[in-house]
Structure formats: structure tokens, C-alpha cells
Amino acid sequence: MNSFDRRAFLGTSFSTIATSCLLGQEKAEPVIPKHIEGPLFQPNTLFLTWQRDPTRTMTIQWIGSRGETSDTTIYYTPFKENKSPKNEKSEVPQKPSPWKSQPSNTKPYPFTDLKIFRCELTQLEPNTEYQFRIGKVSPTYRFKTMPAKATDTIHFISGGDVSVNPHAIANNIAAAQQDPMFTLIGGDLGYDNGTSVEISLAFIRNYSKHMIGKNGRLIPLVTCIGNHEVDGGYHQPREKAPFFYSLFDGLYPEKGYTTLEFGDYLSLVLLDTGHTTRVEGEQADWLDKTLKARVDHPNVMVVNHVPAYPAYLPTAPKFDNQLDGSGAPNRKHWVPLFEKHRVPIVLEHHDHCFKRSRPLIDGSSNANGVVYLGDGSWGRLRSAGEKVEIPHIAATSDEYHMTLHRLQGEERFHLAINEHGKVMDFSRTAQRKKGVFRTTAEPGDK
């Protein structure tokens, strides 16, 4: 494989050249301290994620060359705002707390001589805004930790199948305009297929440039794996997803599935639909135990890439096969667990359209059933062809979209928003009243 050209890394990604002013949004610029003279260190691959507890940690990452800046230490402090006599907020920090520092670690970025720079900040205060710098010659950036308790509405964006085209950028901008607490991408990030350095970098550059919230706050990214992160797509070893696992191995240190816990109000169960971990066996056993332990949790949301109940016509009727990407393994090994353990909603992707299922038990409508929401058209779209009604689908659309989720107690509101910021669909889910225990043994039942 050819070595990646460092000059290409330093240039502008092909997908952002003609779209920087898309939708007319003004980019929120980080603050440049007055004491800095000379060139700034401002990496165009900077983004935030989590490896653990989003209420007390934040992981800062970027991709670059060793020696681009002499100091890669992260300096950080809580951000405090002034209030003028008219009680108006000012961007100038008032009596800031002392700056703390944390060194960055480095690891190789696959197939290149570039490095991933990573710094996990810990022991942060919940629901607190921080400012940080990379060394002493960077702009000042901002982030906010998640609250420990859901005393206010929790809101975040989800979607999947992003790519690096202008539609993906339009959805990035529309998503950032919602000022979400974080973004959740359910697989197929840039479509690097485990082989393309350029596309992997282009996705990160686009996210870094456009996913900026109110007052310049960087929006953290949470992901799970999809087939287009993997060289070979399905049933491959971890090494075949080099870019995904090099960037997100903090959350996925050994397996392709995990949970991310937000205080006592949200539990994300992030799954691997057969890409580097088989659906059945070890992952299904883990899922059974994980969901059982959260059966009374107010907000358990399962996230996976390939849908169990797709809206795309060519795959939807294939409920009796085991083809990769058909969702049949999910239906056999996971759906009974969702139904048994009171999972209210599953976020699915992969089929490149908007989909909202009816509440389902064993594939049929049931008021106490599981809602499946998807199907991944952030930046990729595939026409469903002839309009044929599929019994398990309540709503569908051939539009680029992402979904804004709002959690209020045990109620969840879901707004599907297209690339122009228009609401396409609105739905509500609540905690399921009971689990479903089948009379015959199902995979994962104990």
C-alpha cells in the first residue's frame, strides 16, 4: 500500500472546498489569546470523544505530524463568563481558575507516518463548561461535560452512513445548529472501507470544521462500527478496521461492543452487527446480561448499524436468510433480548433512508413493543424504489436526515430533521410497561 502523502494531509479536504458556506452558517471561531504572537497551532482534525464517564471526563484527539508544534500538552480550566451591569453575558472569562495541564499521548495513524494525539481529561466537574489549549500557541477551545443528573432536558443528535460529500456536510451544519450535547454516529463514518487514509481524514476534518455548537463549544462524537469501517465488511478481525479502532479504541479497547453510561439517566448499548464480532455467541450472551442489569433503567437505547427491521424494499422481505446486511442474525439473536428486557428503542442504520417502525413484538405491531428508528441517510441515500407498504414500518422517507433526541424523565421525543433543517417526522417513546417472556426458548434466554 502506498504511503500517504503528508502534503495531502496539510491541504483542504476535497469535500469541503465548495461547501464551506453551505446553508449560510457562520463558523464559530475559537478564541485566540492576546499573548500569542506568530503562527497558531490549529489542527484541522481536532475533535472530542469519550472513553468513559461523560460527566467527569473528556478525550481530546487530533491527527498530525510529530514536531508540528513543540508542546502538545493540554492546558485547561473551567470557563467563567462575565456579566455586564445590564446582566448581559460577555465572552471574557472572569477571574478564571488556575490552568491545569495534562500531557498528550501518541500512537500511529495507520498506513502513514502521521500520529494520533490523545489526551483524556479526568476528574472534571459535571455539567461544567471548560476551555482548553493545545500547548501555548493554539486558540482557546471550549467543551462542556454532561450533567450527573437529568434535571434538565438531555438532547443529542444521532444518525449514520455519513460519507464526506456535500449532503453530509449540510447535515453536519444542520445538526450543529441544534446545539446538541453530543453526536452519535451508528456506523459508516466516512466510508474508508478500512483502506482509505484520505477518506478517513476527510471525515474527521469535516466533523472538526462543522460540528461546533453554541458559543464555539466543540460537540463530542460517539460512534459504533459499520461495515464501511472494515476491509471486507463482515466477519473480519479487528485489524481490518484500522482507522476506526485507532481512533476509538479508548471506548472499544478489546471488543467491538460496549456501553457508555451517562449518570443515572442514559445508557447507550453500542453493538457490532457482525463486522468484527459475530452477532451470536459471546456478544449475544453479553447483551443478555447487559440488558438484564438495566431492565429498570429510565433510558436504555441500543445502537447498531445493520437494521433488524429495515425499510429498504430489497432487504425488508428477506426475513428467512442469513445474508450479511439482511438483519436476520439480529432478529434471531438480539430481538428476543430487546423484547424480554424492556428496551424501548433501537437506533439502526445501513439502509440509507429514513425509517420509523411501529412498536414491534416478534415483528408484529404491539403497543408494548420495541421501536426501531433509522435507517442511516446522513450523507448517503438510496431510493426505496416502488412504494410498497411494509407492515412493520410506520413512516419512511427518501431524504438525507439525522435525528434529534430529547430525553425528559422516562419520555423520549425524536425529531427527524433533513439536511435543510426541516422536521420530517416526530415521535415519542416511553419506558415499556413490561418485558416479553416467550413460551419457547429463544437465543440468549436463560
pLDDT for 70-126, tens place per residue? 899 999 999 987 554 445 555 554 566 899 999 999 999 999 999 999 999 999 999
Report the SS3 class of residue 215: helix
Cβ–Cβ < 8 Å for 312, 351? yes
Return the number of other C-beta atoms located less than 10 Å from residue 209's C-beta: 22
Domains and CATH numbers, the chain: 30-147 (2.60.40.380), 154-430 (3.60.21.10)
Confidence at residue 91, expressed as pLDDT on a 0 to 100 scale: 55
In whole angstroms, give the CA distance from residue 422 to residue 96: 40
pTM of the entire predicted model: 0.87
C-alpha cell at 143: 467543551
Segment 161-213, tens digit of pLDDT: 999 999 999 999 999 999 999 999 999 999 999 999 999 999 999 999 999 99
- Per-state percent for the chain, helix, strand, coil, to nearest 5: 15, 25, 55
Cβ–Cβ < 8 Å for 287, 277? no
CA angle at residue 217 from 212 to 223, to 5 degrees? 60
Cβ–Cβ < 8 Å for 215, 142? yes
Place of cell 433501537: 346
Residue 143 CA from chain centroid, whole number? 16
pLDDT by residue for the chain (446 residues), tens digit each? Answer: 344 444 443 333 333 323 333 333 344 455 655 555 556 899 999 999 999 999 999 999 999 998 888 899 999 999 987 554 445 555 554 566 899 999 999 999 999 999 999 999 999 999 999 999 999 889 999 999 999 999 889 999 999 999 999 999 999 999 999 999 999 999 999 999 999 999 999 999 999 999 999 889 999 999 999 999 999 999 999 999 999 999 999 999 999 999 999 999 999 999 999 999 999 999 999 999 999 999 999 999 999 999 999 887 555 545 555 567 789 999 999 999 999 999 999 999 999 999 999 999 999 999 999 999 999 999 999 865 555 678 889 999 989 999 999 999 778 999 999 999 999 999 999 888 888 755 443 444 33
CA-wise closest residue to 103 among 139, 142, 60, 141: 60
Helix axes 166-176, 197-210, angle to 10 degrees: 30
